[in-house]
């Protein structure tokens, strides 16, 4: 491994979802370009990851998903070869189906999700990855009617499904890592504690995202300290502070998050304390330097990597 053996640095491809990077005006125009010129789109994305200095790639939603990658390059092996010749590794894949599925307590909805996740798992395994990062269902907007309380009974139903999903992925050589997505049922400290208690640690792991935990009004260092044994990958990202409690939670919630994110070192995350925590707990694995839709992602990732190497890795060692 690079960067001191124990930590490896990657990026989630959502980082490249900014119109300015593609010289277009809208997100829809990015998708249109990806569909009209997929090879140019993917080549530029992977070349940019390589230029930024990180070595890992985390796939995410379309036009950056695994199906798009396979369709563009013709096969799983061909995509893996494109990564390899750039010195890149597929470190993980983000699975967004849970958040998008609405009520997945019904058996047919759960079967469909597991089938999609298993197909994704087989792709990840074929590319040398063993981690699937999963977004949790969203919470309800504060005050919305009829009220849905996120209580023990609701959490138990979700946890039971996550256990079964984690076991299905494990059978295919892939580990499930729940992502701390702000405004989901797995971001604020109490919600994370509840889900970690109810899920089986053998099959359900954790991908803390430092910025999203800040947005949810919690402390990433304290939270991860409580659950460090569950962390198998982490998103290193900064944020300026918590979002208002009455923030509307709808299809635009991810757009509302973006103004709260900032460059590494300019927000509320206590990076020296975070690094000491990982050092003291002996964490080994991928650190994803993710930026949501950065206009100049190559520069921003490279700057974040420089900060990490100069200011944080000396603490970690």
Determine the Cα–Cα distance for residues 120 and 117; give it in Å rounded to an integer.
Answer: 5
Q: Which helix (H) or strand (E) holds 92?
A: strand 89-95
pLDDT of residue 158: 94
pLDDT of residue 220: 98
Q: Is the peptide bond before 223 cis (omega within 30 degrees of 0)?
A: no
pLDDT of residue 100: 65
Q: Which helix (H) or strand (E) holds 153?
A: helix 152-170
Sort strands 261-262 and 233-235 into parallel, antiparallel or unpaired.
unpaired
- pLDDT tens digits for 137-187? 999 999 999 999 999 999 999 999 999 999 999 999 999 999 999 999 999
Other beta carbons within 10 Å of 48? 17
Determine the Cα–Cα distance for residues 32 and 284; give it in Å rounded to an integer.
Answer: 39
pLDDT of residue 153: 95
Per-residue pLDDT 10s for the chain (317 aa) are 344 458 999 999 999 999 999 999 999 999 999 999 999 999 999 999 999 999 999 999 999 999 999 999 999 999 999 999 999 999 999 999 887 656 677 888 899 999 999 999 999 999 999 999 999 999 999 999 999 999 999 999 999 999 999 999 999 999 999 999 999 999 999 999 999 999 999 999 999 999 999 999 999 999 999 999 999 999 999 999 999 999 999 999 999 999 999 999 999 999 999 999 999 999 999 999 988 878 899 999 999 999 999 999 999 98
CB 19 within 8 A of CB 64: no
Determine the Cα–Cα distance for residues 213 and 136; give it in Å rounded to an integer.
Answer: 13
Q: Which residues pair with 93 in a beta bridge?
A: 59, 132
DSSP code at position 184? B
Determine the Cα–Cα distance for residues 291 and 211; give it in Å rounded to an integer.
Answer: 10
Tokens of 85: 């010749």
Tokens of 32: 């249109």
Range list of H helices, the chain: 27-36, 38-52, 66-73, 76-85, 97-100, 107-126, 152-170, 189-198, 210-215, 220-227, 253-257, 271-280, 297-307, 313-316
Sheet containing strand 89-95, edge to edge, reads: 204-207, 175-179, 131-135, 89-95, 56-59, 7-12, 285-288, 233-235
Look at residues 166, 161, 140 and name the one whose alpha carbon lies nearest to residue 151: 140
Determine the Cα–Cα distance for residues 144 and 140; give it in Å rounded to an integer.
Answer: 7
């Amino acid at each position: 491994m690079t960067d001191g053996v124990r930590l490896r640095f990657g990026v989630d491809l959502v980082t490249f979802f900014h119109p300015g990077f593609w010289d277009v005006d809208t997100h829809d125009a990015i998708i249109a370009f990806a569909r009209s010129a997929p090879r140019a789109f993917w080549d530029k994305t992977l070349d940019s990851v390589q230029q930024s200095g990180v070595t890992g790639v985390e796939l995410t939603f379309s036009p950056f998903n695994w199906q798009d990658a396979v369709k563009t390059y013709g096969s799983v092996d061909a995509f893996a070869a494109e990564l390899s010749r750039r010195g890149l590794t597929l470190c993980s894949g983000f699975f967004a189906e849970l958040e998008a599925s609405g009520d997945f307590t019904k058996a047919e909805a759960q079967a469909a999700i597991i089938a999609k996740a298993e197909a994704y798992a087989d792709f990840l395994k074929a590319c040398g990855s063993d981690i699937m990062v999963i977004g949790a269902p969203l919470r309800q907007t504060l005050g919305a009617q009829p009220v849905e309380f996120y209580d023990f009974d609701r959490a138990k139903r979700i946890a039971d499904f996550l256990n079964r999903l984690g076991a299905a992925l494990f059978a295919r050589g892939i580990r499930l890592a729940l992502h701390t997505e702000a405004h989901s049922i797995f971001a604020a400290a109490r919600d994370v504690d509840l889900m970690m208690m109810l899920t089986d640690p053998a099959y359900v792991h954790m991908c803390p995202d430092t910025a999203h935990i800040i947005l949810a009004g919690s402390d990433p260092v304290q939270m991860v300290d409580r659950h460090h044994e569950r962390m198998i990958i982490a998103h290193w990202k900064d944020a300026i502070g918590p979002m208002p409690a009455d923030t509307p939670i709808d299809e635009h919630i991810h757009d509302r998050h973006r103004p709260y994110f900032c460059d590494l070192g300019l927000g509320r995350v206590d990076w020296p304390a975070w690094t000491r925590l990982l050092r003291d707990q002996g964490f080994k694995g991928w650190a994803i330097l993710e930026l949501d839709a950065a206009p100049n992602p190559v520069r921003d990732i490279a700057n974040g990597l420089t900060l990490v190497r100069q200011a944080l890795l000396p603490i970690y060692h």
